[in-house]
């Protein structure tokens, strides 16, 4: 029987299902994707995982290019619209690239599958005024306020992914806190500058907040919970959400601060290659999306100040 014609509620192979959950967790916490988007990705990925399982694939390492091509063909023959087929491919491709970044795969079975032509959405970002408001909502001197202020300042000052920020260890900090080592996807390390305000926030957390939760224990991670354990991605995401709520902002995630970091640098005249390096993008094409935002900013200035704007 054709794998695509069997019931959609067949059990998911455990290894395939576990990777889908890891990808969705990363997409929710790091990328801040909306619930509806995550639900769509779940449906697409579970459909493919069931199809692959019925074809005898028990792990993502067993999925090859022909599987992807055949699956998309089955979806078309089943009456799926071309836009739906394109979305299915995008979902599988995003999961595969996540697994490549995590070091769980060494090859991309979607690499030679023709990419759908899809409109590319501009990343959302905050205004500098919004960022100021967001970074001012934890004025207290208690350990939690000191930690959360340092975390938010670091996310914005360095353009760090949330997983990179919570992964910072105390030995990643240069003595004068002028630069910071971030460990990105695939454990690639990069060095990024730390601004004065972020430096001050981290120093206060190290001096007045962190010792209250370590209680003399040696813990390598910079950001910790009340019990002295490393701060998790979900914990960090919730603290950003709490700050956004207090600042009267909506739809703010850790990734919003990363987007804002890149946008504000380009609007200030930073070189695209430098921004690429600070973001840890492997390809300049990934960073180029921000040039659209920068172009809109420049056009707005032209309309505002040019006598014939």
Name beta bridge partners: 190. 182
Chain-centre distance for alpha carbon 137: 23
The rounded distance, in Å, linking the Cα atoms of 161 and 186 is 13
Catalytic residue among 55, 181, 204, 281: 281
Catalytic residue among 50, 54, 93, 258: 258
Angle of CA points 37, 290, 137, to nearest 5°: 70
Is 258 annotated as catalytic? yes
Catalytic residue among 210, 239, 255, 264: 255
Angle of CA points 17, 119, 49, to nearest 5°: 15
Is 281 annotated as catalytic? yes
Is 259 annotated as catalytic? no
Cα torsion 129, 134, 136, 138 to 10°: value is 180
Rounded to 5 degrees, φ, ψ at 267 are -65, -25
Alpha-carbon dihedral sign for residues 67, 68, 69, 71: positive
Contact 165, 223 (CB under 8 A): yes
User: Running DSSP on this structure, what letter comes out for residue 28?
Assistant: H
The rounded distance, in Å, linking the Cα atoms of 214 and 168 is 16
Rounded to 5 degrees, φ, ψ at 99 are -65, -35
- Buried b vs exposed e over 31-47: b needs ≥16 C-beta within 10 Å? bbbeeeebeebbebbbb
Is 185 annotated as catalytic? yes
Is 188 annotated as catalytic? no
Catalytic residue among 75, 93, 149, 161: 161
Catalytic residue among 185, 190, 197, 297: 185
List own/partner pairs for 292-299 with CB under 8 A and 24 or more apart: 292/122, 293/122, 293/123, 293/125, 293/263, 293/266, 293/267, 294/263, 294/266, 294/267, 297/266, 297/267
The rounded distance, in Å, linking the Cα atoms of 191 and 183 is 9
Q: Which residues participate in catalysis according to the annotation?
A: 161, 185, 255, 258, 281, 290
């Amino acid at each position: 029987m054709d794998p695509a014609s069997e019931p959609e509620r067949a059990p998911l192979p455990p290894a395939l299902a576990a990777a889908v959950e890891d990808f969705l967790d990363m997409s929710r916490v790091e990328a801040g994707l909306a619930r509806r988007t995550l639900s769509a990705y779940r449906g697409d990925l579970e459909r493919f995982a069931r199809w692959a399982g019925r074809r005898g694939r028990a792990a993502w390492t067993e999925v090859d290019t022909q599987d992807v091509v055949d699956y998309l063909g089955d979806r078309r023959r089943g009456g799926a619209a071309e836009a739906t087929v394109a979305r299915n491919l995008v979902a599988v491709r995003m999961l595969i690239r996540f697994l490549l970044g995590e070091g769980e795969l060494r090859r991309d079975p979607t690499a030679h599958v023709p990419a759908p032509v899809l409109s590319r959405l501009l990343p959302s970002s905050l205004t500098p005024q919004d960022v100021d408001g967001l970074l001012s909502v934890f004025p207290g001197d208690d350990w939690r306020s000191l930690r959360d202020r340092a975390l938010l300042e670091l996310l914005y000052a360095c353009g760090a992914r949330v997983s990179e920020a919570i992964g910072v260890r105390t030995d990643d900090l240069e003595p004068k806190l002028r630069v910071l080592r971030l460990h990105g996807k695939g454990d690639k390390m990069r060095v990024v500058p730390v601004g004065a305000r972020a430096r001050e926030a981290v120093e206060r957390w190290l001096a007045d907040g962190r010792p209250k939760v370590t209680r003399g224990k040696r813990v390598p991670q910079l950001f910790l919970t009340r019990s002295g354990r490393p701060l998790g991605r979900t914990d960090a995401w919730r603290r950003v959400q709490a700050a956004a709520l207090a600042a009267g902002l909506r739809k703010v995630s850790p990734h919003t601060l990363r987007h804002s970091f890149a946008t504000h640098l380009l609007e200030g005249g930073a070189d695209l290659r430098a921004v690429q390096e600070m973001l840890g993008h492997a390809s300049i094409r990934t960073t180029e999306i921000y040039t659209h935002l920068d172009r809109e900013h420049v056009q707005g200035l032209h309309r505002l100040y040019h006598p014939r704007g």
